[in-house]
Structure 1
Amino acid sequence: MKRPIIALDFPDLGSVQLFLKKFPSHEKLFVKVGMELFYEDGPEVVRYLKRQGHDIFLDLKLHDIPNTVESGMRRIAGMGVAITNVHAAGGTEMMAAALRGLEAGKPVGATRAKLIAVTQLTSTSEKQMQADQLIAASLEESVRHYAQCAQKAGLDGVVCSGQEVAAIKKATDAGFICLTPGIRPTGAAVGDQKRVMTPGAAREIGADYIVVGRPITQAADPYDAYTQIKKEWNGVAK
């Protein structure tokens, strides 16, 4: 059964540990470690989660000159995360350098982390993109173009909203990953997201992974919320 990725948007490792105590010890999760948590506790939070048997999406969105990104990815490769990412706006040369770094840095015999590229943030509307980034194309065209650039650079997939999955799947090769944040169960608050989708809708349009944060982390019963979202994501009747 596919697992929704839980966004561990907490300020520190202690908060993560308290949250994980609300889950049965046998439940092996897929979790996202983002900037706030990583900048506070660094690789130790990744090591802790791996010791607990959880899979990790390290969401640091690298975006810099190719050499710097390649060097950074060498360090990330040794952490043993399952997925990590860069910003597609860095260009094909930067994305290819990131992939080289992951390959060069992975331990002997280890599986390389999947490398995906952020297209347009799910908090960005088309109007904002056109005004702030001076991109005249539609948001869907921008996302599709970034996805094709990521594929050209050899990456495994992209981060995109559920609304762009179908277009990306049509424009890229079979097996190209679409990881979809901005997932909200029916009736949940949208928060700062602009382009959201339910777990069931994400499954139906072909998303490969979904990321869910506050509907689980801020729920009165996080494990129950997680279980219900997991069922919907897998098309299992409640």
Structure 2
Amino acid sequence: MLATRPIIALDFPDRATILNFLGTFPKEEKLFLKVGMELFYQEGPSIITWLKELGHDIFLDLKLHDIPNTVERAMTGIASLGVTMTNVHASGGQKMMRAALRGLEKGTKSTEQVPLLLAVTQLTSSTEEMIQKEQLVSESLLTSVRHYADLAYRNGLAGVVCSALEAEQIKKYLDSEKFICVTPGIRPKGSQLGDQKRVVTPCVAKQLGATYIVVGRPITSSKTPYDVYLTIKNDWNGEKTYD
């Protein structure tokens, strides 16, 4: 499975801003949109219902991390929204991951598919130095990511959120091409990195084994977001290569 559409990160504060942004796209263009904490906490579940009514797929990126019982109940509610994909922090442990899956299965309508559940390994803003000094992780960043991916795989999750730089290693380590790697930190050539540290271009992400790519500011901050979206989409699908 390889997605043909980049996932657009809707890192906006409210519905009105999103309406202006989506107005730059053709109405018939069905998008894959990521709703994160900023937007969800401001607008609530109704933002998901509205975007789905417009025909878009949703990745609800709340990165749940709590005791298993709390996460299970939260996921039951999330499943009722009909999102395509959602996630937890892998550092919450395998009991929490299994509880999240149970919640999604309980909350999903019989006529709909259970949302794909991903585990966040290490954030793409993390560095080797940061995880060792601040998280006191004695292993390398790659070893930490592979360990979290293995936990997710063994406990029935569909995949992980990771840097594209780690996707190839994860799939080799798990010996599974079906395991999903959703990769933020995607930047077209020449884009500013912002607070991302481990970044690649769309075409390189594909070469490294990413299943989905997530792109935010290069599209959402552009004066011509649809043009940038098409450039990234074409690059991701191999229709354009960089020098």
**TM-score, normalisation: structure 2:** 0.97
Equivalent residue runs for 1:159-198 within 5 Å: 159-172=161-174, 173-198=176-201
Residue by residue, what CA displacement relative to the aligned partner does 1:102-144 show, whole Å, maximum 9, x if unpaired?
0011011210000000000000001000111110000000000
TM-score (norm 1): 0.99
Letter in 2 for 1:152: R
TM superposition outliers: structure 1 runs of 4+ over 6 Å = none
2:68 corresponds to which residue? 66
SS class of match (2:126): coil
By how many angstroms is 1:166 displaced? 1.1
Distance 1:38 1:112 in 2: 20
- Between the aligned partners of 2:214 and 2:98, the Cα distance in structure 1 is 25
State the partner residue of 1:4: 6
> Residues of 2 paired with 1:8 and 1:92: CA distance?
29
Please list every run of 5 or more consecutive structure 1 residues that lacks an aligned counterpart in the other structure.
none
Distance apart, 1:43 and its partner CA: 0.6
Indicate whether 1:227 and 2:230 are aligned. Answer: yes
Question: Paired residue for 1:199, among 187, 199, 202?
Answer: 202
Q: How does 1:41-60 map to 2 (within 5 A)?
A: 41-60=43-62
Task: Calculate the aligned-residue CA RMSD, in Å.
Answer: 0.9
What is the one-letter code of the residue matched to 2:180?
A: I
Secondary structure class of the residue paired with 1:166: helix
Matched, 1:112 2:114: yes
Aligned length: 238
**How far apart, in 2, do the equivalents of 1:206 and 1:16 lie?**
31
1:151-203 Cα offsets, whole Å, 9 max, x none, are 11110000000111111001223310000000000000000001001001001
Work out the CA distance in 1 between the residues paired with 2:152 and 2:140: 19
Aligned to 1:116, what secondary structure does the other structure show? Answer: strand
Give structure 2 stretches of 5+ with no counterpart: none
